[in-house]
Amino acid sequence: MLVPGSLLILVIFLVTSCGPSVSVTSWTNPKEKEKIGNVVIWGMFEKLEYQKPFEQCAVNYLNSKGFKAMESLKFLVPGTKYDLKNLEKKFDSLGVDGILVVTYKGTDKSESYVPPTTTVYPDYYYDYYNYYSWGYPVYGFGANVVTSGGYWATTSVVNLHANLYANSNNGLIWTAEIAITDPEYIDEVTTKVVSQIYSDWMKNGILKMALK
């Protein structure tokens, strides 16, 4: 038997289980013809606890698509300033042809009022026999009232900027502004972000065709 409290929990779960929304607005440089098949994921975040899981999740997703990717933390020491010549040597020694740099650009917050709403669930919802018997007018039922809303909700939008550079000439191949609404788990967010980036690269013909 489904009790009223359980129904309320179910409704809340269905409303909130969709997770954060991610939008990617991109531009592809028409002057750059480099195709990418092996890329470094470089999350230039201030905190290592964000950079590490972001790079790991991004690499795992791209590798699952048959695309070669590696974390910058595998060969770059956090907090160390490298000059261009040393970076180029590292990238060349790894055989990468692209570098994806992702930076944090701030968080926008806004508040909105969620007005109260009242939903009436007749008692026959909570008993299969009552539900079955509902069509018979000889039966009468009570009702359960569930009220939601009547509060202020805060929406957070995390803004990221992503640039894809060619290792051969350091030229900008692709750039994007990324907006993430109400992020919670970094692995979930990263997977959504990178899946959209990957789809955009495919659509714009940036990837080499040696993919499974």
What is the average pLDDT across 40-56? 94
**How many structural domains are present in the chain?**
2
What is the average pLDDT across 132-144? 50
Residue 12 domain-assigned?
Answer: no
pTM of the model: 0.73
Residue 196 domain-assigned?
Answer: yes
Domain co-membership, 78 together with 129: no
**Distance of CA 32 to CAs 144, 175, 205, Å?**
63, 12, 11
CATH for 50: 3.40.50.800
pLDDT at 45: 92
Contact 143, 119 (CB under 8 A): no
3 or 29, which is more confident? 29
> Over pLDDT 90: what percentage of the chain?
57
DSSP H helical ranges for the chain: 4-16, 48-64, 84-94, 128-133, 186-203
Contact 54, 78 (CB under 8 A): no
How sure is the predictor about 110, in pLDDT bands with cuts at 50, 70 and 90?
confident
pLDDT digits (tens, 9 = 90+) for 88-109: 999 999 999 999 999 999 998 8
Residue 69 domain-assigned?
Answer: yes
β-pairing verdict for 38-44 and 68-71 = parallel
Domain that holds residue 122: 117-148
Domain co-membership, 105 together with 27: yes
What is the average pLDDT across 48-71? 95
Domain co-membership, 108 together with 121: no
d(Cα 163, Cα 28) in Å, to the nearest integer? Answer: 10
Domain co-membership, 100 together with 164: yes
